[in-house]
Amino acid sequence: MEEAKRRQSRQITWVPIKQLQEATGWGRTKLEEWRDQGKFQFQQSGKGGKYLYNLEDVQRFCRSLQK
């Protein structure tokens, strides 16, 4: 049971930049700057493709900024 809860809590939601902006309230430039600095997880669909962001990881990073 504990293992199932742990796996559920580690679920990753991949979202595009536009949805990330709405969820965090941060602008595209700042989010891309942090992405390039490796502050949170992301993936790119092929060379020169669109980026997808780990929503939970980005929100965790944004919460750490408020401390």
Q: pLDDT for 42-52, tens place per residue?
A: 999 888 889 99
Using a 10 angstrom Cβ sphere, with 0-12 exposed, 13-18 middle and 19 or more buried, the burial of residue 26 is middle
H or E element at residue 15: strand 14-15
Cα of 3 vs its chain's centroid, Å = 24
Residue 24, pLDDT above cutoff 60: yes
Residue 16, pLDDT above cutoff 90: yes
Structural domains in the chain plus CATH codes? 13-65 (1.10.1660.10)
pTM: 0.78
What average pLDDT is seen over the chain?
A: 88
